[in-house]
Homo-oligomer: A and B are copies of this chain.
Amino acid sequence: MSRTLRVGAAQMGPIHKADSRQAVVKRMIDLLDQAKAAKCDLVVYPELALTTFFPRWYMTDQAEVDSWFEREMPNAATRPLFDKAAQYRIGLSFGYAELTPDGHYFNTAILVDRAGSIAGRYRKVHLPGHSEYDPKRSFQHLEKRYFEPGDLGFPVWRTFGGILGMCICNDRRWPETYRVMGLQGVELIALGYNTPSVNSQKADEGPQKRLFHHRLCVQAGAYQNATFVVAVAKAGSEDGHAMIGGSVIVDPEGAIRAEAQGEDDELIVADCDLDATIFGKETIFDFKRHRRIEHYGRITSQTGVILPPQ
């Protein structure tokens, strides 16, 4: 039986502060309609897909902060997306800010099966940025202020005929992310991101270098774990803050199968044959034959750098 999934990467253009959830969900449904016409099995949307990338704004009013979070999923605003996807029998993955019933704040992504049920939930582990206002930066990146680090690790799920995982934005720069999923046999990773076009701490690091680092990490993670990676941007200028596009579908050899060309709402599609992961997993990256965990101890025993003695 074929294990080919036709995957749509639904890049989204900017979402401004003033844009309502309802307006955004309408755009997501438009992309879903395109995916239906393209006969997709699964559509991946960006990180924080329902709102602007609010961690760029310094806020002290907790009610204002909370206004960016979802207390339940689906909710009134997103229900039409879930319903339409279930009607189409298309799976979804998208990110949103999650406020749990017991008061915890996460940068979350979910995987929704073809019946419209939530099959998997991931909470972003690698929060970039900082927690207090930083006057030295050209703009703020306050993810460490508004979110707690994810508490679910890097789970994978048997669904869509394969083994799927998720990660979010800055997670893609950390090889540990892919490896923990690779050690569970992951075959396709859904990954949303919002990446500013300029480094807030280094003005001469612009969009070309940012796109290079993005592709480099995603392609290396895919190759080194013999998995597909579907990396999907929210792109363009949100209230004057530019973000890179560059959504890509990368195959288990690290090659780009499809890449977005613009910075607006744009669906790219690729057929992902999950059996294409087998060759890498059984040869050069056959972990059980080649990994040497007796020499990896520092990776889990120390968080930061320990310099050699002087």
Contacts and interface: CB of A to CB of B under 8 A. Distances in A.
Interface residues of A, number: 66
Nearest to A201: B283
A286 B173 CA distance: 12
Number of copies: 2
A304 B179 CA distance: 11
Contacts of A309: 158
Interface stretch (A48-56, A59-67, A75-83, A292-300): A292-300
Interface in A217-267: 217, 219-220, 223-224, 253-255
A162 B150 CA distance: 36
A238 to B, nearest CB: 21
A304 B282 CA distance: 11
Given A284-B128, A305-B287, A180 B298 contact: yes
A112 B201 CA distance: 38
A92 interface: no
Interface in A136-190: 149-150, 153-154, 156-158, 163, 170, 173-176, 179-180, 182-185
A131 to B, nearest CB: 10
A279 interface: yes
A180 B295 contact: yes
Interface string A266-310: 000000000000010101111111111101111111111111111
Contacts of A184: 298, 305-308
Interface in A119-135: 125-128
Interface stretch (A39-47, A97-105, A208-216): A208-216
Interface string A64-100: 0000000000000000000000000000000000000
A14 to B, nearest CB: 23
Contacts of A301: 293, 300
A158 B308 contact: yes
Contacts of A170: 284, 290
Interface of A: 125-128, 149-150, 153-154, 156-158, 163, 170, 173-176, 179-180, 182-185, 201-202, 209, 212-213, 216-217, 219-220, 223-224, 253-255, 279, 281, 283-293, 295-310
Per CB-CB distance, the 6 closest pairs between chain A and chain B, nearest first, are A288-B304, A175-B175, A220-B220, A183-B298, A153-B295, A300-B300
19 contacts: A126-B291, A126-B292, A128-B284, A154-B295, A156-B308, A158-B308, A158-B310, A163-B308, A173-B284, A175-B179, A175-B220, A183-B302, A212-B254, A216-B216, A217-B223, A217-B224, A292-B303, A293-B302, A299-B300
